[in-house]
Structure 1
Amino acid sequence: MSVIQDQDFGELHFDGIWQGVCEVVFLGRRLEVELVIQTFDDAPISQTQRLAYREFVANKASICAQVEEAILKHYLDHLCAYRACFDAHEVDARAPSVREVEGMRDLVCLRCIKVMYAFDEGVRQVGFIGDATFDPELGLGVLVTNGFVEAVDTQDFLLG
């Protein structure tokens, strides 16, 4: 395993993937979560990925607020389906009826911020990957593209 001190990402460890730590305030909690910079075939971190992370750091509060709102909207859009997956004794704990972002605090646990591989020039993408009580098997993923939420789904679309 190699360790470097990177000008943008701080201390990074490489053991097949670049990993570090990222501090965010998410759903009202200050967290240190895993930071992953996605590369392929031992390629270096690209300038587009650096720009994506710089943009994220510079706008962390507003991007996190967008992600929180998008998660709430996604949750409310799928609430009936989520609630149908649980027995009567656990449904209100796993998939309660909430109407505010603050209500998501006990339902979603952010695990990772992932700076996505830059397949297209100028497309800066950061993924938020988390666990969710309402989808314990597949969790939750949010893709932020060029500073705006593009997609919310199960986390698998960000894990590749």
Structure 2
Amino acid sequence: MITVEDELFGRLEFDGVWSRPYEIEIFNRKVNVVLIVQTFDDDPISNNQRMTFLEFAGSQKSIIERVEVAALNYYLSKVEDYRACFDRDEVERKAPKTCDVFGFGELVELKQIKIMYTDEGRDREVGFVFDAVFDEQLGVGVLVSNGVVIDVDVQDIVLG
């Protein structure tokens, strides 16, 4: 495993991806997640990724609030489909029909924040990967571009 001390990202380890532990507040609680800086073919971290991280760090509270609301709205748009997958005794626990942002936070767990690779001069993208009790296989992914949520779907939008 390769380790570097980056002046912006801090201590990063490379084991297929550059990563480090990262603490963030989401759904009104502090959580430890994995911060991933995506690179390809041993390319160095790009200036665009550095700008992405700076933008995220500087606007973290407002970006996180947008991510929370977007993920909740995605869930609510599909809640009937999720409910159809559970037995009567687990449906209210795993896929309640109504919940607010903080109630929704009990249904998901943020696992990764990914500083996506984009070419210089392109949009700055950050991905959020959530595990979810209502969809244990596919979870939820939220993609933020230039500080705005542009897509919410299963984790593959960020992982793939």
Do residues 126 (structure 1) and 132 (structure 2) align?
no
SS class of match (2:41):
coil
Query: How far apart in 1 are the matches of 2:134 and 2:61?
Result: 25
Letter in 2 for 1:62: S
Q: CA deviation at 1:119?
A: 4.2
SS class of match (1:90):
helix
Question: Any residues of structure 2 matched to 1:128-147 within 5 Å, and which?
Answer: 128-147=128-147
Residue equivalent to 1:25 = 25
TM-score by length of 1: 0.96
Q: Cα deviation per residue 1:130-159 (whole Å; 9 max; x = unaligned)?
A: 100111110110000000101110001211
Query: How far apart in 1 are the matches of 2:120 and 2:145?
Result: 11
Q: CA deviation at 1:96?
A: 0.8
Q: CA deviation at 1:106?
A: 1.1
Q: What value does the CA root-mean-square deviation take over the aligned residues?
A: 1.1
Question: Any residues of structure 2 matched to 1:110-125 within 5 Å, and which?
Answer: 110-119=110-119, 121-125=121-125
Alignment: residue pair count: 160
Greater Cα offset, 141-150 or 114-123: 114-123
Greater Cα offset, 21-30 or 123-132: 21-30
Query: How far apart in 2 are the matches of 1:75 and 1:15?
Result: 33
CA contact (8 A) 2:63 2:147 kept: yes
TM-score by length of 2: 0.96
Question: Any residues of structure 2 matched to 1:38-117 within 5 Å, and which?
Answer: 38-117=38-117
Unaligned runs of 5+ in 2: none
Identity, % of aligned positions:
47
Residue equivalent to 1:13 = 13
After the TM superposition, which segments of 4 or more aligned residues of structure 1 sit over 6 Å from their partners? none
